[in-house]
Amino acid sequence: MIFARDKSQMCNNLLQFAHVYAYGREHGRHVLSMRFSYKYPYFRIRYTKHTSFVLYLVAKVLAALRILPTASYRDGCDPAALERIVERHRNVVVAGWNVRYYDLFLKYRDEICSLFEIDAAYTLPVQAKMRVLDEEKGVRLGLHIRRGDYAQWADGRYFYDDATYAAFVRGFARLHPGETVHVYLATNDPAVTEEAFCRILQENAVEGEAQPRVHLLGGTPPEDLYMLSQCDALIGPPSTFTLVAAMYRDIPLCRMDQARADALSKEDFKKFDYWFRRIV
């Protein structure tokens, strides 16, 4: 058994586990996610045979006592040496963000998406709300406004203000003339409101352009993840949250690597496998 362990947030954990799962799937090894057995009970994986809180506790204790060996994929690690550790031991913990099996991940991507299908308790309410809000058919844009920890992460490089996000939305709307653009907001900033964001959109709008319709459902993390996954395109700063949302249906994603949207084009929206190999 390979026990996949990390200490980061939900979608970082999901991607880290998925790399380990893909390795195990290719080599006939069972893989248990230590985080999804108890901390994030939103996905189908929690009901699978090898996802168990009891096994999680046993592995945690044995790893702490150093009875169970650990391959730690930290910064500066030697992946080949760590893989040899995994190969040598029947039971082993794989920890750390830097475990990477890109090709195997993509090979087993459908299985991974199935394991992380979001429970109906979170998806059905979102489906009902989205049906009502965009009754007038158009194009759905999922916008991830990330604040909170982004004030410090990467020296605040991706801590964008509302005006920057609005500029990207207007750039997207110009790529879809004549269509109603429904903007679905996912954010960890409680100060963001539909009304305030609409006002900012209008401030620099070009006369005659249709105003995008802004929707803030204020959902839980799994609800917002599902909401984004049901959109036709995504925009957001570098984040595994939008990356995972794009994964489910290979939704085109425009990653905001810099605060400019003056020349936004369809080529800026790339599929999951492109951004997947370029995680910041």
Could you read off the pLDDT of 36-81 as tens digits, one per residue?
888 999 999 999 987 888 888 888 899 899 999 999 999 999 999 9
Residue 260 neighbours by CB distance under 10 Å: 12
> DSSP 3-state assignment of 242?
helix
**Helices 221-229 and 120-133, packing angle to 10 deg:** 50
If asked whether residues 39 and 105 sit together in one domain, one would say: yes
Question: Rounded mean pLDDT of the chain?
Answer: 94
Q: Which of 93, 115, 137 is the last residue of a domain?
A: 115
Report the share of the chain in percent with pLDDT over 90: 83
> What is the distance between the alpha carbons of residues 41 and 175, in angstroms, rounded to a whole number?
38
Distance between CA atoms of residues 69 and 65, nearest Å: 10
| pLDDT bracket for residue 1 (50, 70, 90) | very high
Its pTM surpasses 0.85: yes
pLDDT (0 to 100) of residue 201: 92
Closest CA to 241 of 7, 5, 15, 17: 15
pLDDT at 248: 98
pLDDT of residue 41: 92
Residues 45, 107, single domain; the answer is yes
Task: Tell which of 115, 134, 150 closes a domain.
Answer: 115
Q: Are 86 and 109 within one domain?
A: yes
pLDDT at 204 over 80: no
- What sign does the CA torsion over 194, 196, 199, 204 have? negative
Residues 216, 137: one domain?
Answer: yes
* pLDDT (mean) for 237-241: 97
Q: Do 241 and 265 sit in the same domain of this protein?
A: yes
Average pLDDT estimate for 165-189:
95
pLDDT value at position 261? Answer: 74
Do 158 and 241 contact (CB within 8 A), yes or no? no
pLDDT tens digits along 128-157: 999 999 888 899 999 999 999 999 999 999
Verify that 199 and 220 share a domain, yes or no.
yes
The percentage of the chain sitting over the pLDDT mark of 70, rounded to a whole number, equals: 100
pLDDT score at 53: 87
- Considering the domain architecture, whether residues 261 and 152 belong to the same structural domain is answered as yes
Count how many domains the chain has: 2
Judgement on whether residues 157 and 233 belong to the same structural domain of the protein: yes
Based on the fold, state whether residues 152 and 270 are members of the same structural domain: yes
Predicted confidence (pLDDT) per residue in 250-275, tens digit: 999 999 999 887 789 999 999 999 99
Is residue 100 within 8 A of residue 11, CB to CB? The reply is no
CATH number of the domain within which 253 lies: 3.40.50.11350
pLDDT band at 14 (very low <50, low <70, confident <90, very high): very high
Quote the pLDDT of residue 263.
81
Residue for token digits 């998925």? 18
Q: Give residue 273's pLDDT.
A: 96
Out of 96, 115, 134, a domain closes at: 115
Q: Are 36 and 98 in a shared domain? A: yes
Residue 101 structural domain: 2-115
Asked if pLDDT for residue 208 goes beyond 80, the answer is no
Residue 185: CA count within 13 A, CB half-sphere? 27
* Strands, sheet with 233-236, edge to edge from the N-terminal-most edge strand: 213-216, 181-187, 139-145, 233-236, 253-255
Cβ atoms 240, 248 nearer than 8 A: no
* pLDDT tens string 81-119: 999 999 999 999 999 999 999 999 999 999 999 999 999
| The pLDDT of residue 203 | 86
* 127/226 same-domain check: yes
Question: Do 53 and 165 have their domain in common?
Answer: no
CB within 8 A of 19, min separation 6: which ones?
99, 100, 101, 102, 104, 105
